Chain A
Amino acid sequence: MADIAIVGFAQTPTRPQSQGDEVELVQAVVSQARDQLGLRQDDIGFTCSGSSDFLSGRPFSFVSAVDGLGAWPPARESHVEMDGAWALFEAWVRLQHGDLDTALVYAFGQSSLGAIEKILTAQLEPYTTAPLTPDANALAGLQAQALLLAKDATEADFAKVVSRNRRAGLDNPHAQLRSPAPARNQPVASPLDASDCPPVGDGAACVILARGDRARALCERPAWIRGMDHRIETHHLGQRNLCQSPSTAAAAQSAGFDGHVDVAELHAPYSPQELILRRALGGLETANVNPSGGALCANPVMVTGLIRLGEAAQAIIDGRATTALAHATSGPCLQHNLVAVLEAR
């Protein structure tokens, strides 16, 4: 594997309703990421974005978002209809070729334009699952109940996850929820309380990658990618053990995770999912997990995973960590999981 590092990160604050449209979100965050490294768009070798047309209801909305990038001279550009973490994966693979030494990855999403829990239903298996219209909360509720029934966790454990993330979010100016965890008195989809569920918000993020000497020139302390992989499970919920995340465990092993990192940023939109991820990752007892407050404090859908990579990298760039793990998820009940291990060298 080539030496490739995250050298820059920018994000918008996540807000219930962004004032700008997608182009304005992208322009703001991409400019900030490039400007802080002194780069222009034509310095960037490869550009890749992650978003979902279903969030805005407009086919090919990602094409118009390119207006925020300034794609002239014509950019080498690609897009994934997934969280921006997978766009970062594509950019990392692209940089392995060796002919390019920088990549820019961005993600944007406005969950506020539609009913996000219902929009997420459209990603389900279309013949026997989606027509029943279980929304995202209902499916996360099934998973939470399965954990309780297996005696893998209690509702008090869920509350602890919420409480810890919300406390961390107090210090994150980009977080949407910046208040301590409320009392558990708002049932959503049993056994989930409203506080176990992510806030609905809009946002964008941008990460810049560079190879070898270029990374060292752009950044004093690059967050080198030791390894990265993503694995997926069947889309039939009834054929999975919802209490476990074998795809996370396999991705982590392949990414070179040895059980110890200083910081871990986990993409767990629902509090019980953090418990499942921690177990799949061997506990993470010594790690500072979600110092950003995680997805429970800010969940701009399609961006949340890329923010995990950005936050984990920033901890290394700033000298707050020597090793970090970043995780992103996609699909219902942690169906698809990406793990990256980052390190200072």
Chain B
Amino acid sequence: MKPLSAPYQIDYHYKRSLGPVLGRFMAELEQGQIIGSRCQDGRVLVPPSEFDPRDGSESSGLVRVAATGRLETWSWQPQGDFAFGLIRLDGTDSALLHRIQGAQASELHQGMGLIAVFADERRGQIDDIDHFRPAGTDEITATDLGEPVPPLTEDRVLKIPLVLDYQIRAGATTSDFLRGMARGEILGNRCPQCHKVQVPARPACTTCSVLCESPQILDETGTITTFSIIRIEFPGQRLAPPYVCAWILLDGADTALLHLVSGDPENVRMGQRVRAVWKAEADWGPTLESIRYFEATGEPDRPFEEIAEHL
């Protein structure tokens, strides 16, 4: 059978503190201006840098630069209507990566004059330059650098989202385990070398690094080895606090399974006997959530010595 697969997305919204140099660069972009940094040897870098990447020496200051420049190299993109290019702004000594639009692929050439086109709505980010377009000869004016600009004193934070889409796949053995959950079965598997039974079933013994035997169905009763009472609220919670999250050693297994325990948290004990309470069969799926939670069986507790090895 094919491994189980599911769509998955990560969505991190980083807030990056910019500091005095990049902070000023972004503040100037918001105003429709571009600045560079001057190295101690006189070279001017755009984007500006706090330090000269050649020797790490501190930059000697910031300076306004032209919005026009020359194309150094480019790559036309298959989406059709733009290229990425490295553009050396007039009077500067490094190149800026940006999008080039308004020209055909065949028109691009080394040394081509380009001019920054600013976005109408600017928010202090590199996209405030919407793109570069071919510049008319009358648009390329002085290549002299402008006046010095002071570093930014207030802190400026840039929100940079990172969103990536995946289609994740469980491995063969994990797929077996999850399919078991959809049938109302808890599957573990035995190591042929140390004979311990792991649950959930895993591809290899985590101790011996040999492939495990075929999964087997385990009992639904077990013993709480250790637990924690969750008293705070956080996003994604299934139960209202306070509730118990416990390691449960199923009968016949050698590794514990993490799950929820119902009932009054103050009554939960190490060594307490519990059994799985499944959702209605119609709600079973390839997930540990097919088990609603574990509940106390009322049997006598197991002595600590019998679970000590599994903590």
Contacts and interface: CB of A to CB of B under 8 A. Distances in A.
Nearest to A70: B209
Interface in A63-109: 66-72
Given A141-B75, A190-B75, A236-B53, A23 B171 contact: yes
Contacts of B22: 127-128
B137 interface: no
Contacts of B170: 21
Contacts of A142: 73-75, 84-86, 97
B16 interface: yes
Contacts of A126: 14, 16, 160
B165 A114 contact: yes
A16 interface: no
Contact of B47 (A22, A23, A57, A236): A236
Contact of A237 (B8, B97, B208): B97
B206 A67 contact: yes
Contacts of A239: 45, 53, 94-95
Interface in B174-225: 174, 202-211
B72 to A, nearest CB: 7
A66 to B, nearest CB: 8
Nearest to B203: A24
B127 A113 contact: no
B97 A187 contact: no
A242 interface: yes
Contacts of A146: 72-73, 86
Given A141-B84, A242-B73, A128 B209 contact: no
A238 B209 contact: no
A342 B174 CA distance: 40
A139 B88 CA distance: 17
Given A70-B206, A132-B99, A236-B47, A145 B75 contact: yes
B96 A24 contact: no
**Taking chain A's interface residues, is the majority helix, strand, or loop, or is none over half, making it mixed?**
helix
Nearest to B14: A126
Contacts of A137: 75
Given A126-B16, A129-B97, A189 B204 contact: no
A114 B164 contact: yes
Interface residues of B, number: 62
Contacts of A134: 84, 97
A70 B205 contact: yes
Contacts of A70: 204-210
Given A24-B203, A57-B8, A70-B204, A132 B84 contact: yes
Interface string B47-86: 1010001000000000000000000111111100001111
B209 A234 contact: no
Contacts of B165: 114-115
A31 interface: yes
A23 B204 contact: yes
B110 interface: yes
Interface string B151-178: 0000000101010111111111110000
B166 A128 contact: no
Contacts of A72: 206-208
Nearest to A186: B78
Nearest to B87: A238
Contact of B172 (A19, A118, A192): A19
A344 B162 CA distance: 47
Interface in B77-124: 77-78, 83-86, 88, 94-99, 105, 110
B257 interface: no
Contacts of B242: none
B229 interface: no
Contacts of A24: 171-173, 203-204
B212 to A, nearest CB: 10
Contacts of A187: 76, 78
Contacts of B105: 190
A283 to B, nearest CB: 24
Contacts of A30: 209
B164 A118 contact: yes
A30 B209 CA distance: 9
B77 A138 contact: yes
Nearest to B99: A132
B280 interface: no
Contact of B209 (A20, A27, A57, A188): A27
Given A58-B168, A127-B160, 9 more contacts: A23-B203, A27-B211, A127-B126, A132-B97, A142-B84, A143-B73, A145-B75, A189-B84, A192-B75
24 contacts: A23-B204, A57-B8, A57-B164, A68-B203, A72-B206, A72-B207, A114-B165, A115-B164, A127-B18, A127-B126, A127-B158, A131-B125, A131-B126, A131-B160, A132-B84, A132-B98, A140-B75, A145-B73, A149-B73, A187-B78, A190-B83, A234-B53, A238-B72, A238-B88
Which 4 pairs, one residue from A and one from B, show the smallest C-beta to C-beta distance? A70-B209, A141-B75, A21-B171, A238-B95
Interface of B: 3, 8-10, 14, 16, 18, 22, 25-26, 45-47, 49, 53, 72-78, 83-86, 88, 94-99, 105, 110, 125-127, 158, 160, 162, 164-174, 202-211
